[in-house]
Chains A and B, each alone.
Chain A
Amino acid sequence: MASDGDTASPQDAGNEAVGGPGGVSAGPAPDAATPTMSLRKRLYRGTSDIDFPRMFRWTTVVSVLAVVASVVALFTMGLKLSIDFEGGSVWEVPSQDFSAEEAEAVLSAAGVPGGQVQEAETVDGERILRVSGQVESVQQGAELAVDFADAAGLEAGEVTVNTVGPSWGDDITRQARTSLIVFMVLVALYITWRMEARMAVSALVAVIHDILITLGVYSVFQLTITPATVISFLTILGFSLYDTIVVYDRVQENADRLLRSGRYTYTAVMRRSLNQVVMRSINTTITTILPIISMLVVGKFLFGQQTLADFSLALLIGLVLGTYSSLFVASPLTVALKEREARWRDVRARLANRGLDPTDTAWYGVGADAPTRTGARGSSGTGRSSATGAAAVASPATHMGHPPRPRKKKRRS
């Protein structure tokens, strides 16, 4: 069975026709509310009813596995840090014939250990020899630049050098850590103030999830972490929260109203809300990703600008993770926390007392113009409810007088 309502199979459609309320309400517009409408079309029309709660089960497994794998990778493989964190010098000698051996000779003459020589090319096809080494001070780095220039027969200023003292790297790391903590605390306070504490907790868990997995990716692929990576990374946290807050805003609005109807579990409210905002999330992600991909491609392949590539790669990884975690980490966690709340437990208990199935999360609400109990159990709720969604939206006018239609209330906003 399609777990996410991706396709409404004919079988599901059949169920819908038999027991679903959609069969009734869709009556006036049977041609429009075709149950077999593709997910893409339904998303575009905002009539999708993807069974997110069902997806949560396996996405949680995926997330947990990914986080565990990341942590393991971090501890076993570690991170590859650029010299900005470790301290040291990188010299770039633009010369056609300056060899690695000559470079190493310069280093060893100065007694500098840990020399690494790498050949690179600029955009214009000029050869550059990139040498790195552990110097004792910034002065030594600068002096060696002069030595390299002499050895390669260049002017002193032609050899560029980037040196980072050992304590500077610690500083950057400390700053990043402090920023991260302060940021998380402030955002938690903000979400608690504008929304509520449970959501803040979930949002933070989602952020930590993003951080761990991104670090994991950098660890597994042994990508070099530069200050640019760290910056991008901190930005991504902002993005991730943007999406999360858009979801929360809708959930809260829906929850306030639907709690009173007593017909919806929090899970159902979440499912409904996610379906309402999913297109928003997809579109905001696409519009943010396009410039970043452009930066990655232009920076990396057209201009050979490593820093731009560093920035955009981290942004890309983080952005995808951020969108995912808004939908599949922050949301299920919020659901789990909220379902424990007394008022939502009551709703659940009442539904069960009335002999209804509280695990049915299709958005029309359990027991409203809902199917008979057997109907509800018999159909998965997936395909049927998708179709129902489409149908109901299609016919708001015809249902104006129908008392328990939550959709109508929502329109009031």
Chain B
Amino acid sequence: MLVAMGLAVVLLVVTLAFGRSPTLGLDLQGGVSVNLQPVDESGEVLDDVSNESLDEAIGIIRNRVDAVGVTEPEVSRQGSTITVQLPGATDQQDVIDLVGTTARLRFRPVLGLLPPEPTEEERAELEQTAEELRTQLGLPEGVSAQDVLDEELAAAQAALEADPEGTSTPEGPQNSYGVDVQSSEFQELAAAETQLETQVTPRDEIEADQEVVLADSNGVLYRLGPTFSSGDRVLEGEAVEDATAGLDQSGQWVVNPVFKGGEDGIDLFNEAATACYNGDPQVCPAQQGTRGQLAIVLDGEVLTAPSINEATFARDQIQISGSFDQESAQAVAVALRYGSLPLNLEPQQAETVSATLGEGALQAGIIAGLIGLVAVFVYMFAYYRLLAAVSLVSLTTSALLLWSAMSWLGATVTLAGVVGLVVSIGVAIDSSVVSFEGIKEDVRNGSTVRSVAERSMTRSYSTIVKADTSSLIGAAVLYWLSVGPVRGFAFYLGAATLLDLFSAYFVLRPGVMALSRSGRGSSPKSLGIPIDDLADPVREKLTAAARGAVKEA
């Protein structure tokens, strides 16, 4: 018993020391939750979606949510239902737009590479440099290098119009600030400003037919052209039939996409390939040292941007090689496959919980639990006297263990979970009642408390196991077959029942046995066992045993 209690306390201390605590569910802290399911074009829910697609979809949603910077977002899946929970979010419309948009795979020609987006620190540094340069150049606040250049250009234009032959070139700066645009300071300022302005196109501004700036997973920035198109045919993921990752002859990881046949498939891809191979400056310009590159972009992230080394390809003879390792090659292949059949996720249920409502629910749950607990123990102490103390210790042990388990398993406490916990107080006490009534019966049949405690508790335990098993079956079934709040509830009921089995064996049983050996504990009276109606000899035997124990003690 002491070991079990010690274990519970140690675990709790460790848990607290690690700063772990259970996470609060959305319904207790407020936020937006959306449940999405894959649907076909007509909006019918699809049941036979591959796990790979769903996992990829979850990955995409996670990326999007992370990019927005919500604290502790939760994206999970059960069956084909994807649940997104964003604590603290208030605008459901925004969330639905964020997670409900279908992720598309697009082929975009690379227009150029950009320096990486400056970090916060670099940005501050750049801003300071720019400020200093601006002072040196004597530029007033709010006037950028670009403004100066524009003015300069306009002046040049005007000069050209006034003097088409260009007989006299105007001398010196042609702008109102008198800044020499050829000076190194000005060039430096312009560069700093360009870098400051470099930023990835925000998600909601990405358009298939517009230029964008996007990054790959290493943070390299690409300036990308519109999705490759020819007439009204657009080169998107649907052109892909399949993709695999494998090793080439030299043992390098490569990705082999296979395109669909026909003009929307391989033909369109070959048009793009030809443009890039030739380095068509309008569409797919040649890059430094290589031919034109065609970037494969999934949901705003550049997966890979291979340079095209042949003008045309057979649809199943394409190989993308590069600095892939197994993981990245497979990730690209999965993304290509996903892109070939993107999931349309339709929100099926969405809920906003205001933070105040959530807090109220948590408070109400806790207060109700505490009042319930006190009421139960007032009853227990009135009825079973000292035995109730053992029951209290046992319940406390369960509670401590449950707290640790919840913290480490990263379980979320939902309102349903809180109810499950309050209800499980009853379950735990049920076991005590079954045990105590057993002892009571045996003692009244003439056995002394001390002699009968162990046998009686063991027998009761077998009853408890049988009864708890039915609760466990219920919890397990609910857990596997349901989504959302039902799951949370089942989890806590199941966990509490398991811990009840543990505590009943390791705390309640030895606790009662220890009590029965103690002085007061061996007296039927202090255990709430009435013996006043028993025959005199029996009564004497029972009280004598208790007195004996007191003397020994």
Contacts and interface: CB of A to CB of B under 8 A. Distances in A.
Contacts of A228: 416, 419, 485
B376 A287 contact: yes
A45 B353 contact: no
B9 interface: no
Interface in A131-188: 137-139, 141-143, 145-146, 155-158, 160-165, 167-168, 171-172, 175-176, 178-179, 182-183, 186-187
A380 interface: no
Interface of A: 28-29, 32-34, 37, 44-47, 84, 92, 94, 122-124, 137-139, 141-143, 145-146, 155-158, 160-165, 167-168, 171-172, 175-176, 178-179, 182-183, 186-187, 190-191, 194, 227-228, 230-232, 234-235, 237-239, 241-242, 245-246, 249-250, 276-277, 279-280, 283-284, 286-295, 297-299, 302-305, 307-308, 311-312, 315, 390, 393-398, 407, 410-411, 413
B350 A163 contact: yes
Contacts of B348: 138, 164-165, 167-168, 171
Given A308-B419, A397-B538, A33 B533 contact: yes
Contacts of B433: 280, 283-284, 287
A27 to B, nearest CB: 10
Given A284-B433, A393-B445, A231 B361 contact: no
Given A238-B471, A288-B426, A411-B442, A162 B534 contact: no
A138 B419 contact: no
A271 B40 CA distance: 61
A160 to B, nearest CB: 4
Nearest to A243: B467
B293 to A, nearest CB: 37
A410 B444 CA distance: 13
Nearest to A162: B351
A308 B477 contact: no
B440 interface: yes
B430 interface: yes
A242 B470 contact: yes
23 contacts: A32-B535, A145-B352, A161-B352, A162-B351, A168-B348, A183-B473, A234-B478, A234-B486, A238-B471, A238-B474, A241-B474, A242-B468, A276-B441, A284-B430, A291-B425, A295-B368, A298-B368, A308-B361, A315-B423, A393-B445, A394-B534, A394-B538, A397-B535
B93 A146 contact: yes
A29 B92 CA distance: 76
A123 B442 contact: no
B225 interface: no
B93 A142 contact: yes
A45 to B, nearest CB: 5
Given A37-B533, A168-B348, A175 B473 contact: no
Nearest to A227: B485
Given A142-B96, A194-B466, A235-B423, A158 B477 contact: no
A302 B535 CA distance: 51
B352 A162 contact: yes
Contacts of B102: none
B346 interface: yes
Contacts of A239: 426-427, 471
- Ranked nearest first, the 6 interchain pairs of A and B with the lowest CB-CB distance are A157-B90, A291-B372, A288-B426, A303-B364, A138-B347, A294-B372
Interface in B431-458: 433-434, 437, 440-442, 444-447, 455
A275 B185 CA distance: 99
B515 to A, nearest CB: 19
Contacts of B128: none
A138 B481 CA distance: 24
B328 interface: no
A309 to B, nearest CB: 10
B379 interface: yes
B538 A396 contact: yes
Interface of B: 27, 34-35, 37, 45, 81, 89-93, 96, 100, 346-354, 356-357, 360-361, 363-365, 367-369, 371-373, 375-376, 379-380, 383, 415-416, 419-420, 422-423, 425-427, 429-430, 433-434, 437, 440-442, 444-447, 455, 459, 462-463, 466-471, 473-475, 477-478, 481-486, 489, 493, 530, 532-538, 541
Contacts of A302: 364, 367
Contacts of A407: 445
Contacts of A293: 372
B216 to A, nearest CB: 32
Contacts of A410: 445
Given A183-B473, A238-B474, A242-B471, A290 B368 contact: no
B530 A45 contact: yes
A156 B434 contact: no
B96 A179 contact: no
B486 A175 contact: yes
A356 to B, nearest CB: 26
A242 B467 contact: yes
A388 to B, nearest CB: 14
A195 to B, nearest CB: 8
Contacts of A33: 533
Contact of A308 (B365, B455, B474, B483): B365
Given A179-B477, A308-B368, A231 B423 contact: no
Given A32-B535, A235-B489, A290 B372 contact: yes
Contacts of A162: 350-352
A188 to B, nearest CB: 10
A295 B466 contact: no
A234 B470 CA distance: 12
A396 B96 contact: no
A302 B483 CA distance: 30
Nearest to A393: B444
A294 B368 contact: yes
A190 B470 CA distance: 8
Contacts of A183: 473-474, 477-478
A186 B474 CA distance: 9
Nearest to A410: B445
B444 A411 contact: no
Contacts of A191: 470
B415 A307 contact: yes
A33 B423 CA distance: 39
B96 A187 contact: no
A46 to B, nearest CB: 5
Contacts of B467: 241-242, 245-246, 249
Contacts of A146: 93
Given A179-B482, A280-B437, A145 B489 contact: no
A295 B376 CA distance: 13
A86 B347 CA distance: 16
A292 B92 contact: no
